[in-house]
Structure 1
Amino acid sequence: MAVDDAVLDDLAIRLQRTRWPDDVGAGWADGTDVAYLRELVGYWRDRFDWRAAEQRLNRLPQFRAGIDGVGVHFVHERGRGPDPLPLVLTHGWPSTFAEPGALVPMLTDPARFGADPADSFDVVVPSLPGFGFSDRPRGPGTARRLPRLWVRLMSEVLGYRRFAAHGTDIGAFVTNRLALEHPEHVVGVHVGHWAEPDVDTAELTGQERRFVEARVRNAEAEGGYAHVQRTRPQSLAFGLTDSPAGLAGWIVEKWRSWGDCAGDVERRFTKDDLLTTVMIYWVTGTIASSVRLYKEWALASRPHPACPVPPVPPGAGESAPLPAGRRIEPPARLALFLPGGDPPPVSWIERAYARPQVAVMPRGGHFPAMEEPQLLVEDIRAFFRPLRH
């Protein structure tokens, strides 16, 4: 990975000429805080070193493979242990391969971190199509192809007949679908978000009904971004593709809102962390193709089971229930990082999974690979330990 100098020169000009909106003193209440973004853009313009970030990322062994006509970028690091278990890690939005990529050393070489070498993994971290250095899809339909793409990457390209899978956010939706559609390839799944069960509203328990009502309230408070990305991704894409400050404002607000940071985004993420993520979207021009995935899956469009949605693939998360009468059969662990939130009722989870384990993690938010890497890695190791043979 080596970004052309001309891309960085163009970025510098755009940052210098940023046009700023009015600041009515609302702080973060109306979205991204103008004062904070001015500070971040100033750091980006004057101090952030993309070449240093690029060098750090390039320590991960990266490859590309053509699968079903789609160029997929991925990290592949073999484990240093007696019998490493293949593990595919799938990121979400607004994330990139850099987030789960931070776990690679801990998962591949546990002895280096004082853990048991028998817990080593062969780690694969793909970039979702439309994100980062994977190809941008040229038409609709990529979402429903993702489980098959991952199976072909793992089995045909890399030679792993069976493997473990972990994902957060959209990556959890992909991982759940992978287990639903290709259980013969999946040892088990470790996810940060549950699959949505098919349920008649008349069948809801009192606890489930309260859970659904709380989700509706949360969708009103936090779901505006998803509604835009689901309904008008192209309209949004012009501004985010043309303005680096606009792109940073759209992404960084989510890292602050979803991270376990008590309103102080830099309590969990450094400016370099945030800007490395923003830069991967910027230098690849993939913000439009990344948000379009929300339209393909109608993501976050069904806060209540009674809400109608367009036809979408099964198991895609909150937007689409599993097929009637179907559950995810491979062993599954839901490691839920929910700062200030409540998990679904056990009955809700058991509608979707045949063999679930549920753990509400004591700290960490939407980006656990960067917020609580040790906690996440230990949980992954423990879950897959009895599934290795």
Structure 2
Amino acid sequence: MSDLIKPFRINVPQTELDELQQRLALTRWTTEQTEESPWQQGVPLERAKALVDYWQTQYSWRRCEEALNRFDNFVYTADDVDIHFIHVRSRHTSARPLLLTHGWPGSILEFTDIIDRLINPQDHGGSAEDAFHLVIPSLPGFGFSGKPATAGWNVEKIARTWGDIMLALGYQAYVAQGGDWGSAVTLSMASQKLEGLQGIHLNLVIAMPNPGEELTPEEQAALIPAMQYIKDGNGYAVIQTTRPQTIGYSLSDSPVGLATWIYEKFQNWSDCGGDPESIFSKDRLLDNISLYWLTNSGHSSARLYWESFNKSFAGVTTDLPVGVTVYPKDVSTPCEKWVARLYPNLIYFNSPTEGGHFPAMEQPQGFVEELRKTFAKLKLG
């Protein structure tokens, strides 16, 4: 293993946990107005108070910390920035190396429910041929990765760094997967044809019809989520793309502000019928929120929008093998025809009947099956 890779153990100081409790106790709450829809202006006050009360009185970060430390954690240093990642090898020597990249407001915690399913497929309805070795990095500025002190850590640079990590681990041939920002990074890896990368799977694709193209009723319906996102769902992105430093003060100073900033997206982007806690437990939600708070990465994660948001999601193409899964409650639900125009080597496409923006958390077994079906079509060389 490369000298640039060092073991890492998660151990949040107790003083940080104590300070969080103090801040939660001193919360100054907003008021709210009566609305036709309880989420029309954002997280309802009653829901926010219930989540924060649980955070303060019942939630345990140490449980989450212990679970993460059961995996092998490392950091890789690139341009003075430490990149944190989990590395889990399957017992099957023929396992494929697979790089998994999260997005915002997610984290490496998106993938914890699928790790055992991927490394031990025979215990989860698969065979030894379905096994993967896993590398799961935290994006720079997210979680336990370092916070870049200078501009330039855009999607393209992150993609190259991911390739360097895979080579440093000794993986000469591998595949990669991503959603949200992970989709942009993974696609950039493919478009740059990084050494060793054999194929990719994406669960977020921005693909549109050609101007003036006549659309079928099904294609018109496929446009609705993206149009709704542009109309009513991208305010957070505009702010983080244009003024990440300004919103960063609120995200760094107020745990309730950070929590609701994130909580709303799990409600709005998941297949939860309007109630995020119908599919995510409070513990699961607060694990992710606490990871952002305890690493003070609300502001630093927002900077990735400033670096790359307007140039990394649409129009990027590759001739490497690509598999795509479009979930019905995601922010973009393009049809296969539009996706195939972007990726001439589209080897797999599927539209499940359930699932949203966080499929590894929402539909872990189904998501694993999507990866198996995609990468079974590849022969690593």
Task: Give the structure-1-normalised TM-score.
Answer: 0.89
Matched, 1:353 2:364: no
User: Which residue identity does 1:18 align to in structure 2?
Assistant: T
Matched, 1:317 2:304: no
Match of 2:366 among 368, 371, 375: 375
CA distance in 2, matches of 1:13, 1:341: 36
CA distance in 1, matches of 2:225, 2:20: 42
Task: Give the structure-2-normalised TM-score.
Answer: 0.90
Provide, for residues 317-367 of structure 1, a one-character-per-residue CA deviation record: whole Å limited to 9, x for no partner.
Answer: 13xx33xxxx41111111111228773243321221021132112211111
* Pairwise CA distance, 1:140: 1.4
Structure-2 residue corresponding to 1:149: 161
Aligned pairs for 1:153-164 within 5 A: 153-155=165-167, 157-164=168-175
Aligned pairs for 1:114-133 within 5 A: 114-133=125-144
Closer, same or farther: CA 78–187 of 1 in aligned 2, 3 Å: same
Closer, same or farther: CA 352–261 of 1 in aligned 2, 3 Å: same
User: Which residue identity does 1:338 align to in structure 2?
Assistant: P
Q: Does the Cα contact within 8 Å between 2:84 and 2:137 map onto a contact in 1? A: yes
Matched, 1:65 2:55: no
CA distance in 2, matches of 1:60, 1:24: 45
CA distance in 2, matches of 1:83, 1:340: 34
Closer, same or farther: CA 49–290 of 1 in aligned 2, 3 Å: same
CA distance in 2, matches of 1:354, 1:140: 33
CA distance in 2, matches of 1:77, 1:218: 36
Q: Does the Cα contact within 8 Å between 1:89 and 1:166 map onto a contact in 2? A: yes
User: Which residue identity does 1:382 align to in structure 2?
Assistant: K
Structure-2 residue corresponding to 1:205: 213
Matched, 1:28 2:34: no
* Pairwise CA distance, 1:212: 6.2
Matched, 1:105 2:116: yes
CA distance in 1, matches of 2:256, 2:331: 30
CA distance in 1, matches of 2:178, 2:112: 12
* Pairwise CA distance, 1:376: 0.4
Aligned pairs for 1:1-389 within 5 A: 1-26=10-35, 27-143=38-154, 144-155=156-167, 157-182=168-193, 184-194=195-205, 201=211, 204-207=212-215, 215-299=226-310, 312=311, 316-318=312-314, 321-322=315-316, 327-339=317-329, 343-356=333-346, 357-389=348-380
CA distance in 2, matches of 1:341, 1:240: 23
Structure-1 residue corresponding to 2:7: none
Q: Does the Cα contact within 8 Å between 2:225 and 2:332 map onto a contact in 1? A: no
CA distance in 1, matches of 2:332, 2:313: 17
CA distance in 2, matches of 1:244, 1:283: 9
Q: Does the Cα contact within 8 Å between 1:80 and 1:117 map onto a contact in 2? A: no
CA distance in 1, matches of 2:127, 2:330: 33
Give the count of matched residue pairs: 364
Closer, same or farther: CA 14–340 of 1 in aligned 2, 3 Å: closer
CA distance in 1, matches of 2:148, 2:345: 35
User: Which residue identity does 1:352 align to in structure 2?
Assistant: L
Per mean C-alpha deviation after superposition, the further-off stretch among 71-80 and 327-336 is 327-336
Per mean C-alpha deviation after superposition, the further-off stretch among 61-70 and 219-228 is 61-70
Provide, for residues 170-211 of structure 1, a one-character-per-residue CA deviation record: whole Å limited to 9, x for no partner.
Answer: 1011111111102542211111112558x974xx52239956
CA distance in 1, matches of 2:266, 2:206: 23
User: Which residue identity does 2:144 align to in structure 1?
Assistant: F
* Pairwise CA distance, 1:217: 4.2
Q: Does the Cα contact within 8 Å between 1:68 and 1:149 map onto a contact in 2? A: no
CA distance in 2, matches of 1:145, 1:388: 27
CA distance in 2, matches of 1:238, 1:336: 35
* Pairwise CA distance, 1:379: 1.3
Structure-1 residue corresponding to 2:3: none
Give the 3-state SS of the residue equivalent to 1:89 in structure 2: strand
Closer, same or farther: CA 195–161 of 1 in aligned 2, 3 Å: farther
Aligned-pair Cα RMSD in Å: 2.0
* Pairwise CA distance, 1:229: 1.0
Q: Does the Cα contact within 8 Å between 2:100 and 2:177 map onto a contact in 1? A: yes
Give the 3-state SS of the residue equivalent to 1:207 in structure 2: coil
CA distance in 1, matches of 2:373, 2:257: 41
Give the 3-state SS of the residue equivalent to 1:338 in structure 2: coil
Closer, same or farther: CA 213–11 of 1 in aligned 2, 3 Å: closer
Give the 3-state SS of the residue equivalent to 1:63 in structure 2: strand
Q: Does the Cα contact within 8 Å between 1:183 and 1:329 map onto a contact in 2? A: no
